[in-house]
């Protein structure tokens, strides 16, 4: 569960997103961040074995405003990432902590050029099996449909009338689960998160198998 002092701090920061206020309340930030780090470490320990994790990270609250029209200096949320053990296990988990807008995201946010091409070739060869895994009943019941940015047209080198064009156009392969504030503060949150990952893990493992094999299905690791 999330420590109760985290959201009050974030709510205050949202109303006072400036350096002067933050400097005066730096101690409150540090306490809130330490609570998030504690949550991150505990989740890593409890989820590690079944999900083949290798590291976790709490992102800094400072925003990079150099190329943004929004010049507020601080994020109004905390973010935690969990990475799987490469090269065999792929995909990642992201826990977003924000009052009224928390969520758990899982999947592939920014596959590199080579990985994206390999995934698309797999879909091209067997889109029916990809769809079977991505729309598994247990997965859909927990997460709903796959999301992510996608092209308006068919990617270069792929037929626009391919029966798997809906999936071929994807640039991201992610699933998003919104989280109620009360759930985050509940003692059963860790168990809840474990159950969500149990439902999504077969999809991640399948994608890992794809990304560690060639077009003939032979392992490349």
Query: pLDDT per residue over 194-216, tens digit each?
Result: 999 999 999 999 999 999 999 88
Does the residue 1 lie in any domain?
Answer: no
pLDDT of residue 220: 92
| Spatial separation of the C-alpha atoms in residues 212 and 87, rounded to whole Å | 7
Contacts for 56 with CB less than 8 Å, ≥ 6 apart = 40, 41, 43, 44, 80, 81, 82, 83
Find the range with the poorest average confidence among 67-76, 95-104, 178-187: 67-76
Does the residue 216 lie in any domain?
Answer: no
Query: pLDDT per residue over 141-163, tens digit each?
Result: 999 999 999 999 999 999 999 99
Query: What is the chain's alpha carbon radius of gyration, rounded to the nearest angstrom?
Result: 20
Supply angle C-alpha 32, 92, 10, rounded to 5.
20
Contact (Cβ atoms closer than 8 angstroms) between residue 207 and residue 91: yes
CATH number, position 81: 3.30.930
| Spatial separation of the C-alpha atoms in residues 13 and 58, rounded to whole Å | 18
Stated pTM of the model? 0.94
Query: pLDDT per residue over 24-44, tens digit each?
Result: 999 999 999 999 999 999 999
> E-assigned strands of the chain?
53-58, 78-84, 92-97, 102-108, 173-179
- 85: domain range? 6-211
| Spatial separation of the C-alpha atoms in residues 63 and 210, rounded to whole Å | 35
Q: Can you read off the two tokens belonging to residue 28?
A: 């409150």
pLDDT of residue 70: 87
Contacts for 8 with CB less than 8 Å, ≥ 6 apart = none
pLDDT of residue 66: 84
What confidence category does residue 13 fall into, taking pLDDT thresholds of 50, 70 and 90?
very high
Q: How many domains does the chain have?
A: 1
| Helical axes 6-15 vs 26-51, angle rounded to 10° | 130
pLDDT of residue 159: 96
Query: pLDDT per residue over 53-98, tens digit each?
Result: 999 999 999 998 888 888 999 999 999 999 999 999 999 999 999 9
pLDDT of residue 65: 84
């Amino acid at each position: 569960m999330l420590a109760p002092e985290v959201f009050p701090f974030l709510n205050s920061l949202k109303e006072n997103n400036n350096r002067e206020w933050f400097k005066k309340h730096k101690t409150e930030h540090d306490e809130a961040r330490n609570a998030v780090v504690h949550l991150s470490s505990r989740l890593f320990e409890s989820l590690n074995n079944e999900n083949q994790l290798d590291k976790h990270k709490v992102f800094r609250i400072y925003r990079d405003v150099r190329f943004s029209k929004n010049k507020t200096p601080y994020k109004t949320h905390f973010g935690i990432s969990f990475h799987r053990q490469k090269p065999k296990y792929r995909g990642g988990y992201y826990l977003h902590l924000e009052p009224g807008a928390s969520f758990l995201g899982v999947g592939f946010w920014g596959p590199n050029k080579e990985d994206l091409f390999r995934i698309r070739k797999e879909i091209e060869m067997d889109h029916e099996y990809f769809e079977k895994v991505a729309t598994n009943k247990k997965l859909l019941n927990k997460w709903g449909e796959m999301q992510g940015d996608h092209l308006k047209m068919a990617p270069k080198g792929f037929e626009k009338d391919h029966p798997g064009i809906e999936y071929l156009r994807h640039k991201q392969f992610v699933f998003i689960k919104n989280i109620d504030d009360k759930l985050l503060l509940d003692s059963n949150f860790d168990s809840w998160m474990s159950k969500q990952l149990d439902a999504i893990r077969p999809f991640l493992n399948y994608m890992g198998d794809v990304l560690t094999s060639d077009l003939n299905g032979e392992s490349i690791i």
